[in-house]
Amino acid sequence: MKTIGLLGGMSWESSIEYERIINEEVRRRLGGVHSADLLIRSYNFHDIEELQENNQWDEAGRRLAADAAALERAGAEIIVLCTNTMHRVAAAIEAAITVPFLHLADATARAVLDAGIDKVALLGTAYTMEQDFYRGRLEQHGLEVTVPNEADRTFVHEVIFNELVRGIVTSDSKAGYLRIMKTLVQQGAQGVIAGCTEIELLVAASDLNVPYFPTTRIHALAAVDAALGE
């Protein structure tokens, strides 16, 4: 089993989900008391959020790249960045390491294509929905990606930062998300990507009648595949 290095803590609410899913899946596949071999760099999300808000992406990239390199020196054989939004600095991370970097958008695109879908709705932070680093990566795989209108994008973003990253889950916010997802499906989306790891705390596959792609689970399972050579 290869050692997985997790760049997490953005927020820790989703990082815990990565750790849980990875460990549960390793135990499911190998049996007994097996669990994953993990190295974890967890962050004070307040510091990361400030960099995002102040458009200091280069500094964010330097920090995450340095930490990815430190994980590699400590023995990580695979690097996993436990957040959709910070994949904006994926190139800086990849340039700093020699071990494989598992890009979240690539794993998600494979899952969508495997489901026989080519038009999908994307919900996430405003950065993820509006900028090209994530949508563009999905589109490189041949997917057509739709996002909510401006007002709904603002709602989705604010729920993430004001509620979900703080562990707050409300029925009103869930209803709002489901309304937005339903609208996008009515506009032609064949499935929905939960393009922020915290969204999975709010909306489950059972809440929808179209395929749902929870990126935390997809990415975590891809990490297990890589660690076990599958």
The residues assigned a catalytic role are: 83, 196
For residue 114, what are its two tokens? Answer: 């495997």
- Crossing angle of helices 215-228 and 12-30, in 10° steps, is 40
DSSP annotation string for 11-40 = THHHHHHHHHHHHHHHHHHH-TT----EEE
Measured CA to CA, the distance from residue 117 to residue 149 in angstroms comes to 22
